[in-house]
Structure 1
Amino acid sequence: MDDLSPSDLKVILHSKRANMYYLEYCRVMQKNGRVLYLTEAQKENLYYNIPIANTTVLLLGNGTSITQAAMRMLSQAGVLVGFCGGGGTPLHMATEVEWFTPQSEYRPTEYLQGWLKFWFDDTQRLAAAKTLQAARLTYLQKVWSKDREFKAEGIDLNHTSLQSAFATFEARTAKATSSGDLLMIEAQLTKVLYKTISNTTKHPDFSRQHQATDRANAFLNHGNYLAYGLAASCLWVLGIPHGFAVMHGKTRRGALVFDVADLIKDAIVLPWAFICAKEKATEQEFRQQVLQAFIDHKALDFMFNSVKAVALQELSPQQIEEQGL
C-alpha cells in the first residue's frame, strides 16, 4: 500500500466519484497506506477510513487538523481540500473556500486551450456565458420535472409564475449585451425561484441574507459551498484556472467556480434548502440529502459535460449571429 502511485489512486473518473466529506473536531492522517480521520471520545479514540479514490472534495471545518502525509495521499488521488467554517459554510473574512488543489503537470491541455481561444474575445466570451445560462435552465427544468420528492412537496414546474419567469429569462438572455446584463437577468430569475419555493414550503416571509442564521439561509449557504466544491473539482480535472470566468468578472477570485456552480445551485440546492428547513432538519441531514441529490441527478457529470462543450466548441460568425450577438 505504501508504494501506490498516483495512477493507482485515480481509477475512478472524477465525474463518477460519489463522495464529498465534511469533517469537524477530528484529526486527518495517513496510516498504513490509507487516509483516516481520528475522533477523540472520552474513553476511546476511533479511526474511520476515507475512501479517497472515490472522493472529489474534502471540507475541513472547526477543530480539524491534517498531516502532511495525508495531504500527499489526497493530492495523489486528486482530492480537493478546503478549509471552511462550522457546518460547512465558509465565512473566513466573508470570502469563498480557500481550495487546495492537487498538483499535477499531466492534466488535460485541450480544454484550457479551447477555453482561451474564445475567452479573450468579448463577443465570444459572452456567447459562452449565454450557453452556460441556457444549460442551467435546461438542467433545472429536467431535475424539477422528474424529482418525485419535489413533486410531493408541491413544486410544480408548470406553475404560471415559473413558466413566465423561464420565458422572460430566455428572451432577455438572448438579447443581453454584457455579462453585467446576464448577472442581472440571473438575479431576477433566482428571485422568482426563491419566492415560488418559499411560498410552496411555507416560508412566505423569507428574505435571502447570507449572514442570517435561520435554517433556510444557513442551508442555502451550506449547499452552495458544496456546489462550489464540485465546480472547483471539475475545473481542476479539466485544467482550467478559476480566473477565466465568463460571467462573474475578470478580477473576482475563484470567479469561474461560481459560473460553473450556478449550473446546479438553483436546480438542487435551492429547493432542498427550503424543504429541509420546513422539516427542521439538522445540517448533517441537509448535507446528506443534497449530496444524494447531486448523485441522483448526476450533477458532476452535468458540470463536466457543460464545461467541455463550451471549451471545445468553436463559435463561428454564423453561430454568433444566430445567438443574437
Structure 2
Amino acid sequence: MSTVGRRSLSSPRELTRVGDRVSFLYLERCTVHRDDNAITATDADGVTHIPSATIGTLLLGPGTSVTHQAMALLGESGAGVAWVGEHGVRYYAGGRGLTRSSGLLEAQAAAWANRRSRVEVARAMYRMRFPGEDTTGRSRDDLLRMEGRRVKECYRREAARTGVPWVRREFHRDDFSAGDAPNQGVTAAAQCMYGVAHAVVAALGCSPGLGFVHSGHERSFVLDIADLYKTEIGIPAAFDAAAAGEDDVATRTRRALRDRINATGLLDRCARDIKSLFSYTSPATGAGEDDGDRVGLLTDSGRLIASGRNHGDEPIW
C-alpha cells in the first residue's frame, strides 16, 4: 500500500472540471486533515469528509488549522485555498492549476503584451458586464467613466428593490464593522468573488497578475474577472443579506452568494468567458480543454518539437 508521499499526481483528466465544482466552502474553528482523497474537518461536532476534487475554493476562517497532507491534496486537486480573517476580508491563496498546458496563459500574455489588443479585451470585458453597450473606439478613460455610472445605477436599483437605505460605497480596510449593513455585504461579496475568480484563473493556468482593466497588482486579472459578475451576482446578494437585518451580514452574504453562484452555473460560465476573451481553442481537443501533460521545445519558426531528446544530429526548422 503506497503512502501519501509516494502517491502519484492525478492527471487533469482524472480531476473534476472547474465548472462542475462547488464554488467555495467556508470552514472555521476546526482542524483540516486528509483521509485518502478527501479532506476532513474536525470540530466539536465530529469529523466531516469533503471530496477535495469537488472544491473550487476552500475558505479557512478564524480558528482553523490545516495539515501539510491536506494542503498537498488540495494543491494536487487544483483547489484554491484562502485563509480569511474575521468576516472573510483577508485573502491568501494557493493551489495548482487543473491544466498542464500553457496554451491559455500564452494567449493571455499575447493579448496583454500588445497595447491595442489589451484595450480590445478591456472593451470585451465591459460588454460582458453590460450587454448592449457600444464600446467601439472607447478609450480606457471612457470605459472607467461608463462603468462608474453603471455600478452606481446598480446600487440604487438594488436599494430600491430591497428597501435597504443606500448612501454611498465605503470600504474600511482596517475596520469591517465601520461600514453600514449594505457596505459590509458588498465587501464580503467582493472578497468571496475574488476567491472564486482566483480559483478559476489558477485552474485554467492563467496569470493572476496580467490584468486588462486592473494593473500593478499580483491579482489584477483576478479582479478583472470577479468584476464581470459584480452587478449581476455580487451586489444583489449583498443587498439581499442586508435586507434580512444588520447582524451577521457577512455570513448571510456568503450563503446568498454561494446559492446564486450554484444556481447560475457561474464557475462553468467563468471558464468559458475567460477563454472567449482570448479567442482560445485548445489544439488538442478543439474545445479549450487541453488535459495533456507534455513539454515541447519552441523553434525559431514557432513550431513545437519534442523535449526530452537530443536534437544535435538532426535539422530543426
Task: Return the TM-score normalized by structure 1.
Answer: 0.76
Q: SS where residue 269 of structure 2 aligns? A: helix
**In 2, are the aligned partners of 1:268 and 1:293 still within 8 Å (CA)?**
yes
Aligned match of 1:7: 11
Aligned match of 2:252: 285
**In 2, are the aligned partners of 1:22 and 1:88 still within 8 Å (CA)?**
no
Aligned match of 2:128: 135
Is 1:177 aligned to residue 139 of structure 2?
yes
Q: 1:313 to 1:74 in 2, by over 3 A?
A: closer
Query: 1:180-199 to 2 correspondence within 5 Å?
Result: 180-199=141-160
Give the partner amino acid of 2:201. Answer: L
Query: 1:82-121 to 2 correspondence within 5 Å?
Result: 82-90=82-90, 97-102=91-96, 107-121=100-114
Quote the Cα distance in structure 2 between the aligned partners of 1:32 and 1:311: 38
Q: 1:186 to 1:99 in 2, by over 3 A?
A: same
- What's the RMSD between the two structures over aligned residues? 2.4
Query: 1:119-158 to 2 correspondence within 5 Å?
Result: 119-138=112-131
**In 1, are the aligned partners of 2:34 and 2:70 still within 8 Å (CA)?**
yes
Cα deviation for residue 69 of structure 1 reads 0.7
Quote the Cα distance in structure 2 between the aligned partners of 1:313 and 1:75: 25
Q: 1:99 to 1:10 in 2, by over 3 A?
A: farther
Unaligned runs of 5+ in 2: 173-177, 282-317
Q: 1:28 to 1:126 in 2, by over 3 A?
A: same
Quote the Cα distance in structure 2 between the aligned partners of 1:120 and 1:221: 32
Query: 1:41-56 to 2 correspondence within 5 Å?
Result: 41=44, 46-56=46-56
Quote the Cα distance in structure 2 between the aligned partners of 1:291 and 1:213: 22
Aligned match of 1:238: 204
Candidates 200, 212, 230, aligned match of 1:265: 230
Cα deviation for residue 255 of structure 1 reads 0.4
Q: SS where residue 72 of structure 1 aligns? A: helix
Is 1:219 aligned to residue 180 of structure 2?
no
Q: SS where residue 312 of structure 1 aligns? A: coil
Cα deviation for residue 37 of structure 1 reads 1.2
Quote the Cα distance in structure 2 between the aligned partners of 1:209 and 1:51: 38
Equivalent residue pairs, number: 270
Once the two structures are aligned, what percentage of the paired residues are identical? 25
Q: Per residue, is there more helix in 1 or in 2? A: 1
Quote the Cα distance in structure 1 between the aligned partners of 2:8 and 2:31: 23
Aligned match of 2:34: 30
Cα deviation code 1:269-294 (max 9, x no counterpart): 11121122112274433322211111
Cα deviation code 1:195-231 (max 9, x no counterpart): 1211232223432111243221111111112211121
Unaligned runs of 5+ in 1: 91-96, 139-166, 315-325
Cα deviation for residue 4 of structure 1 reads 6.8
Quote the Cα distance in structure 1 between the aligned partners of 2:165 and 2:227: 24
Cα deviation for residue 184 of structure 1 reads 2.9
Q: 1:285 to 1:120 in 2, by over 3 A?
A: same
**In 1, are the aligned partners of 2:164 and 2:242 still within 8 Å (CA)?**
no
Q: 1:288 to 1:203 in 2, by over 3 A?
A: closer
**In 1, are the aligned partners of 2:96 and 2:203 still within 8 Å (CA)?**
no
Quote the Cα distance in structure 2 between the aligned partners of 1:34 and 1:294: 23
Cα deviation code 1:132-176 (max 9, x no counterpart): 1111223xxxxxxxxxxxxxxxxxxxxxxxxxxxx7xx24x4342
Cα deviation for residue 10 of structure 1 reads 4.5
Give the partner amino acid of 1:258. Answer: L
Task: Return the TM-score normalized by structure 2.
Answer: 0.78
